[in-house]
Amino acid sequence: MKLATLSSYSREQLTDILRVLKLYKTSLVQIGHRARLIDPKEDLSVAVRVEYPTGASLEDIKSFAVAGLGEFFKIKKIPTDIVFVESPSLIWGIRIFAWDDMVNISFQKFANQIKNA
């Protein structure tokens, strides 16, 4: 099997590949490190991440997160692979990330609003 080299592609093909790579790089920068790349052919299950404050009871956080998923994201079937991450910057509450959306149900959100008012 012969491997393709850059010289085996036309200028148009290389330009198109470069355009796609630049779009990919830009999207990673805009989305950030919370992104989980999904193959379009893959089953589009919900990717959920929950950030919670240090020292909080994980059982309480789980029930709060399930309620938040139902209320804010209208998710009926709660995924079993929710990722829980301790976040020392949170004072109270949680942040829920589902797909590329986020709901901030934390005291930090209100503290920032008061500080900026």
Burial 38-47 (b: 16+ CB within 10 A, else e): eeeeeeeeeb
| Intervals of the chain under pLDDT 70 | 1-3, 30-46, 108-114, 117
The pLDDT of residue 3: 66
Q: Is residue 30 included in any domain, yes or no?
A: no
Asked, for residue 26, whether it belongs to a domain, the answer is no
Judge whether 93 lies within some domain: yes
Q: Tell me what pLDDT residue 2 has.
A: 63
Domain-embedded: residue 83: yes
Indicate the number of domains in the chain. 1
50: Cβ–Cβ under 8 A, 6 or more apart, which residues?
A: 61, 65, 82, 83, 84, 85, 94, 95, 96, 97
Q: Which domain holds residue 56?
A: 48-116
Residue 23 within a domain: no
In angstroms, the CA 19 to CA 23 distance is 6
Question: Does any domain span residue 24?
Answer: no
Q: Is the overall model pTM greater than 0.85, yes or no?
A: no
